[in-house]
């Protein structure tokens, strides 16, 4: 069967996700075409994550380059997709980041008619941020919230996957007639042998002594790095406590901390690895940490670094909102705070660092991390394809219900639990 994977963007999580999808289809020995943006194969992320698994793949670099979503841009993407479907004539299509596509499909269905897919083609998409499940606290967020509530249920995906269980259950409750087309997907974390913090630091060529608070990933405006820097200074930690910023940063973020925190940088209190990291280096950065911080305020959607920390047995400190706040509390993964309040953030940072030596990995956390394995991610993506190929289910497939039903005991609805906590 010919399978088409569509993703115009290789930044952030996109290239690692695509790597997992390529490997899963190679294992099934299916013909594979990747449709991506012009020049994607020249991006550094391609060389880091995809070069070694790309030889058996047909690459079609015909999509408009990734940019801020707009109706015009997504409309152009759909025109590109229709042309790709004509060129390659696949029988199955995966779109591993379908948020803007979903809004477009929903709008088409609302004002005109649903997009018609070619006969015999099934299309699956993965939605990252279900804004409809989160009540906005700012007036400028109400329109995206209402549009999400209106458009997402109307999008005519054959299967719509969610990373975040809160909007997944919200949509399933509101539209029980579509529950067979709505599925929950793991956010994949690679299995890497665990090492001691000192060895991980040595391999990353950063200081091996003291304690590290780490923020890992792409550092951009709005990701919360500014809040973390303010809290780190305000916490007045011992000199052997350091802040690690691992991953590429925008020029604005780099100028912000170089201008405002040059003294901490010169003193070695802030350590940076300002470049794209491969998956091994990402794992090493997590294992080098005493505390992993996910400082984005009011983040909507899953966080792979919360999951990576859980898999490595490292505690996290996150904002007390959404999936991150709920998951950290529910599975005992660390602590939450209001990262927008500098004093609260600083107090929580200081308290969390003091408690890192005493926190232990619970059975809930182990189940949570096991569900989010790369193997389970592949198993969920290929589930429908296996059905179409008359193949048995992947033995690595683990359901989300297994995570919640510890030792066979039923657990209250997660959406009720989240809303009770949020309103209480």
Check which CATH number belongs to the domain holding 68 and give it.
Answer: 3.40.50.2000
Residues 81 and 224 placed together within one structural domain of the fold: no
Residues 6+ apart with CB under 8 A from 302: 128, 163, 164, 187, 323
Task: Provide the 8-state DSSP code for 122.
Answer: E
Residues 176 and 221 placed together within one structural domain of the fold: no
In angstroms, the CA 403 to CA 392 distance is 22
Q: Is residue 424 part of a domain?
A: no
Instruction: Give backbone dihedrals phi and psi of 126, rounded to 5 degrees, phi first.
Output: -115, 115
Residues 268 and 302 placed together within one structural domain of the fold: yes
In angstroms, the CA 286 to CA 194 distance is 10
The 3-state DSSP class for residue 62 equals strand
Q: Is residue 410 part of a domain?
A: no
Residues 182 and 293 placed together within one structural domain of the fold: no
In angstroms, the CA 201 to CA 114 distance is 53
Helices then strands, counting H and E runs in the chain, come out as 19, 13
User: Is the four-CA dihedral 146, 148, 151, 154 of positive or negative sign?
Assistant: negative
Residue 107 CB neighbour total at 10 angstroms: 18
Total-model pTM: 0.88
In angstroms, the CA 108 to CA 154 distance is 9
Residue 264 CB neighbour total at 10 angstroms: 17
In angstroms, the CA 383 to CA 391 distance is 9
Q: Is residue 180 part of a domain?
A: yes
Residues 6+ apart with CB under 8 A from 35: 4, 5, 6, 7, 60, 62, 63, 80, 81, 84, 88
- Block means of pLDDT (10 residues each) for the chain, 424 residues, are 92 88 88 92 87 88 81 87 93 94 89 82 93 83 87 92 93 88 92 86 95 94 90 93 94 87 93 91 94 92 92 94 91 94 96 88 87 94 95 92 66 50 46
Residues 316 and 334 placed together within one structural domain of the fold: yes
Q: Is residue 407 part of a domain?
A: no
Residues 101 and 239 placed together within one structural domain of the fold: no
Residues 6+ apart with CB under 8 A from 104: 71, 74, 75, 78
How many domains does the chain contain in total?
Answer: 2
Instruction: Give backbone dihedrals phi and psi of 49, rounded to 5 degrees, phi first.
Output: -110, -25
Q: Which has the closest alpha carbon to 126: 330, 284, 301?
A: 301
Residues 30 and 179 placed together within one structural domain of the fold: yes
Residues 148 and 70 placed together within one structural domain of the fold: yes
Residues 258 and 345 placed together within one structural domain of the fold: yes
In angstroms, the CA 200 to CA 286 distance is 9
Contact (Cβ atoms closer than 8 angstroms) between residue 99 and residue 76:
no
Structure tokens at 348: 């929580």
Q: Which domain holds residue 226?
A: 197-367
Residues 153 and 203 placed together within one structural domain of the fold: no
Listed residues 367, 383, 410: the one ending a domain = 367
Structure tokens at 106: 């929903």
Residues 377 and 318 placed together within one structural domain of the fold: no
| Burial group, residue 96, by CB count within 10 angstroms (0-12, 13-18, 19+) | buried
Residues 6+ apart with CB under 8 A from 192: 279, 280, 283
Residues 55 and 164 placed together within one structural domain of the fold: yes
Res 417: pLDDT: 54
In angstroms, the CA 122 to CA 158 distance is 6
Q: Is residue 418 part of a domain?
A: no
DSSP secondary structure letters along 317-350: EEESSHHHHHHHHHHT-EEEE-TTSHHHHHHHHH
Q: Is residue 406 part of a domain?
A: no
Q: Is residue 421 part of a domain?
A: no
- What's the chain's length in residues? 424
Q: Is residue 405 part of a domain?
A: no
Residues 6+ apart with CB under 8 A from 212: 197, 201, 206, 241, 242, 243, 244, 271, 288, 289, 290, 291
């Amino acid at each position: 069967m010919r399978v088409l994977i569509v993703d115009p963007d290789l930044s952030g999580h996109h290239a690692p996700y695509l790597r997992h999808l390529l490997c899963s289809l190679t294992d099934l020995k299916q013909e594979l075409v990747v449709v991506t943006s012009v020049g994607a194969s020249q991006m550094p992320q391609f060389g880091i994550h995809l070069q070694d698994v790309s030889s058996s793949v047909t690459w079609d670099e015909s999509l408009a380059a990734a940019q801020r979503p707009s109706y015009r841009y997504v409309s152009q993407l759909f025109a590109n997709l229709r042309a790709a479907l004509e060129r390659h004539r696949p029988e199955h299509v995966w779109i591993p980041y379908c948020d803007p596509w979903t809004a477009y499909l929903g709008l088409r269905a609302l004002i005109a008619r649903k997009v018609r897919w070619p006969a015999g083609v099934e299309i699956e998409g993965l939605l990252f941020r279900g804004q409809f499940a989160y009540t906005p606290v700012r007036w400028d967020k109400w329109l995206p919230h209402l549009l999400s509530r209106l458009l997402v249920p109307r999008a005519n995906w054959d299967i719509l996957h969610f990373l975040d269980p809160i909007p997944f259950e919200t949509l399933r409750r509101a539209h029980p007639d579509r529950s067979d087309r709505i599925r929950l997907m793991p956010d994949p974390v690679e299995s890497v042998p665990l090492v001691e913090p000192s060895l991980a630091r040595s391999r990353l060529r950063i200081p091996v002594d003291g304690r590290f608070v780490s923020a890992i990933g792409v550092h951009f405006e709005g990701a919360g790095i500014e809040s973390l820097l303010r809290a780190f200074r305000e916490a007045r930690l011992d000199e052997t406590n350091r802040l690690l910023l691992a991953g590429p940063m925008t020029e604005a973020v780099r100028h912000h901390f170089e201008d405002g925190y040059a003294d901490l940088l010169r003193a070695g209190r802030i350590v940076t690895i300002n470049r794209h990291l491969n998956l091994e280096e990402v794992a090493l950065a997590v294992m080098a940490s005493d505390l992993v911080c996910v400082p984005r305020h009011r983040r909507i959607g899953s966080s792979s670094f919360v999951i990576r920390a859980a898999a490595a047995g490292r505690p996290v400190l996150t904002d007390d909102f959404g999936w991150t706040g709920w998951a950290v509390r529910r599975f005992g993964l660390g602590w939450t705070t209001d990262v927008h309040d500098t004093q609260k953030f600083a107090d929580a940072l200081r308290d969390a660092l003091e408690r890192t030596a005493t926190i232990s990995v619970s059975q809930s956390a182990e189940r949570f991390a096991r569900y989010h394995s790369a193997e389970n991610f592949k198993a969920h993506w290929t589930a429908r394809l296996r059905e179409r190929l008359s193949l048995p289910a992947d033995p690595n497939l683990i359901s989300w219900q297994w995570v919640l039903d510890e030792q066979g005991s039923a657990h209250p609805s997660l959406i009720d639990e989240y809303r009770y906590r949020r309103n209480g």
